[in-house]
Structure 1
Amino acid sequence: FQRSKMAEIQPNSTLYINNLNEKIKIDELRKSLVAVFKQFGEIVSVMCFRTLKMRGQAHVIFTDVSSAAAAKEALTGFPFYEKPMKIQFAREESDAIAKEKGTYVERQPKYLSEKIQKKPKSKKRENGGEGPAPPNKILFCTNLPDNATAEMLEIMFNQFSGLKDIRMVPNRPGIAFVEFDTDSLAIPARTTLNNFRISAEHGFPFYGKPMRIQYAREDSDVIARAKGTFVEKRATKSVTRSGNAAKKPYDKPTGKEHKKGGDAEKTNTETDEGPGQPNNILFCSNIPDETDPEQIQTIFGQFPGLREVRWMPNTKDFAFIEYESEDHSESARQALDNFRITPNHQIKVKFASK
């Protein structure tokens, strides 16, 4: 969606409030806003944030425009914790309300098909790896709540200058692309919000995982799918943790052999002395038990050439990741080895032993 000028904002069910007292704790502020605004109609959500640039601001979403208009009329300038509230209609109607009204329209990924400017590919490193994506104006967000919407993400990213577009990927909950006007404007957003812990006070009930933000790769399979230009390179099959692997192009630990520190683990994967002998298959270990297989698929899928993610039967803490070539796997390995998938877990990524 394109940013609207303030003068063009039309009345809608979402109010933007600022000039709030920044000394008030977020939980108390949210409860107080609910108490003040609920007299004007049914409230869908009240969103407040702890980030520095969003302090003193909030969004209140009503079920209808008339309630929002009445609240705006009555409470603009109302002294709230010793400061007069400033209230405006939000730039766009809440997606939640639009869906209830049947007027919701899936936003078109214009930036993915028209706005991406081709950048020269970075020189390959001596060992053949492409490395992680360099800073660019498009951010790739993962580990989001399943009920995340573009409107809620807009509130978080709108504190940074140059926000242009937010794209939720159809049928892929938990991920989104955020585009800024320039590379330099995207950098502070990533620096500030990477690992930002979204919680119930932000409109996502019972959710407390940190948001992961990386620079998007223009040639990644994920972006290609979102653009509608992805071409399946060959039939693939993703094996769930309890699924059945169709083939085994590598040795795997079995039974009691798979023990931390055991000789079998080093024999069937790689030693602790280095990343192992380069090949197109990676061994990912130290995966938390609560990790969704789809999350691993998404994390490794941002790198070009992903062919298959395989989970071995009766295991929860490791997986094999197959790419089309050694160059592709090295690029992913360099970027994701020791990647902090949760605050307490860093995944280990090395070359598998064939």
Structure 2
Amino acid sequence: MSVETILPQIGIGQNPTPTSAPISQPLPFIPRMPTKLPLQPPYLKFALETIFKTYGEILEIRANSSLYRKGQAFVTFANLEDATKALKEAHGFVLFGKPIMCQYARFDSYLTVVSEGKSLDEYKTEFKKEKEKRDQEFKMLSATRKPISTPAVPSFSYVNVGGSVVALNVPNKILFLQQLPADVTQKELENLFNPFSGFVEVRTIPGKHDIAFVEYEDEMFATNAKNSIGAEFLLRPDQPKSSLSYARR
């Protein structure tokens, strides 16, 4: 059974556009990230979890050193619906100044293999053979074809606020904060947003102190907080204004 039917896996890597092939095919879901990332793997995993947990239950995030050097990572969701939603909606999300590119994973995650009762050692051997075959085919193809330019990132109907991360003015239970003071604390943000009904949590991203996410129980509570605080607000009297919008969905 393919990964999509048990543990849908998405990845983060170098492919420029999401696949349009049927999801019954074992295809990679790979967001593209900057090849020179400002965060080391442990912090990168936290940043990815902060973004992708909004789409559903995450079973595993793989962003080890070898994947990190390629600007890649893989995210395994508990069900296909959540993975598909993440693939469609997170594609183009700007992280560390560059858009994430998303596809379904080409191969099953180890969690999928184990859940199906298959031999992990046999799967790894099979995977290695397939990888060697693909690498050889790629070398042969590269030797015969002419160089082509990298496809442009497809356009999206979103507003880039502050040039850091993408946000849309579409109602969402998660709010997106930008242009925060560099030394802002989670406690400061909680003090601002917690008084509003339905508050769930504030989520910050290590290494990106100027942005944060605030989650409420539903869109109604989030909208109430957003309208009360305003699109621009002063967190501190002696600091420039910060911006508040709905997170992209």
TM > 0.5: no
Q: TM-score range by the shorter chain?
A: 0.3 to 0.5
Structure of greater Rg: 1
The structure richer in helix per residue is: 2
TM-score, normalised with respect to structure 2:
0.38
TM-score, normalised with respect to structure 1:
0.27
